[in-house]
A and B are shown apart, each in its own frame.
Chain A
Amino acid sequence: MAFNFLIVDDSPIMRKVIIKTVRMSGVDVGEIFEANNGAEGLIEARDNWIDLILTDINMPIMDGITFIEHLKSDDVLSSIPIIVISTEGRDDVVQRALDIGAADYITKPFRPEEIGADVLKILGYTDA
């Protein structure tokens, strides 16, 4: 079974690195969709079947926290697991993201292996 991903980050270079990391993780990758911010991410999530979302927090137009809130209040989209990858590493922000439904939170700078391990875990490839 191939999994579809949605990468939400206003940095094109960060999206490319995350995409590369996902492809190298060992997961069977289907389609990877990209969005510049939360508002675009919502459109992509509604228009496509998504198995896992990786999102930044600090983005223009709609930030990651608001994006997660919208997803979790939507009957159809609320079950999509979300990994946050952000520079914003303060405890209150991290806790806020987890409280509203993020499955995990990775702070930048990250090692690609961290993202790969998280993707594998959340999609059920590993037990850890």
Chain B
Amino acid sequence: MYLKSWGTQMRNLNNKELIIQVIDEIMTDMFFIFPDLDDDGNQVTTGEPSLQSTHVGIHFNTDFYLHFQIDNQLLAEMAANFMGISPDELTTEHIESMACETANIIGGNYLVRADPGATYKLSIPEVLLADSILESDKIDEHWTISFVANGQVMAISPYKRKA
């Protein structure tokens, strides 16, 4: 029943090409990170985030959440570029804040374009513990995005809402 409901809700939001486009724009314009895309905007490489990565969840209403897993090295490069400081000066708080802000900006910009009817409202992004994320909660394997930039990976997947 839940999955049937999810399928209906997801129809309008299931647009991998659009979210890749949003990520590309944000990473390039705001963080000066250039993703591995070809001239047509297609992904050139894929990969898995390393163990040294940060997990963030951002809910769309109470229905589901997008799980972001981002390599810490990529977050450090983004934060350093964004703040104009050396990666050596960054703290764990900076890295986690960067991960949350990334999810917030990508989620918000995606929603503006994918949900013009304003059906959904984004939650405040939150850092998740890796062992709190259950693979069985993953909703749609085909919607998982593995995004590579500077050899580092950002993975995004929809999950059932957290209790």
**Chain A contacts to B: CB under 8 angstroms:** 10-14, 16-17, 20, 58-60, 86-90, 92, 108-111
Chain B interface, >50% SS class: helix
Residue from B104, B109, B118 in contact with A58 in the complex, judged by beta carbons closer than 8 Å: B104
In the complex, which residues of chain A have a beta carbon less than 8 angstroms from the beta carbon of B107? 87
Check B83 against A109 for contact (C-beta < 8 Å): no
Among B93, B104, B109, B116, contact of A12 (Cβ-Cβ < 8 Å):
B93
Indicate whether B138 reaches chain A with its CB closer than 8 angstroms.
no
**Inter-subunit contact A59/B101 (CB<8 Å):** no
Interface size of B as a range: 20 to 34
User: Are B101 and A14 neighbours in the complex by a CB distance under 8 Å?
Assistant: yes
Minimum Cβ distance to chain B for residue A95 (Å): 12
Do A88 and B83 have beta carbons less than 8 Å apart?
no
User: Which residue of A12, A13, A108 contacts B108 across the interface (Cβ within 8 Å)?
Assistant: A108
CB of B88 to closest CB in A, whole Å = 16
A-B contact count (CB 8 A): 58
Q: Interface residues, chain B, CB within 8 Å of chain A?
A: 25-26, 29-30, 79, 82-84, 93-94, 97-98, 100-101, 104-105, 107-109, 111-112, 116, 118, 122, 124
**Main SS at interface, chain A:** loop
22 A-B contact pairs sorted by A residue (CB < 8 Å): A10-B124, A11-B101, A13-B83, A13-B98, A14-B101, A58-B104, A58-B122, A58-B124, A59-B124, A87-B104, A87-B105, A87-B108, A87-B109, A89-B109, A89-B112, A90-B112, A92-B118, A108-B30, A109-B26, A109-B29, A109-B109, A111-B29
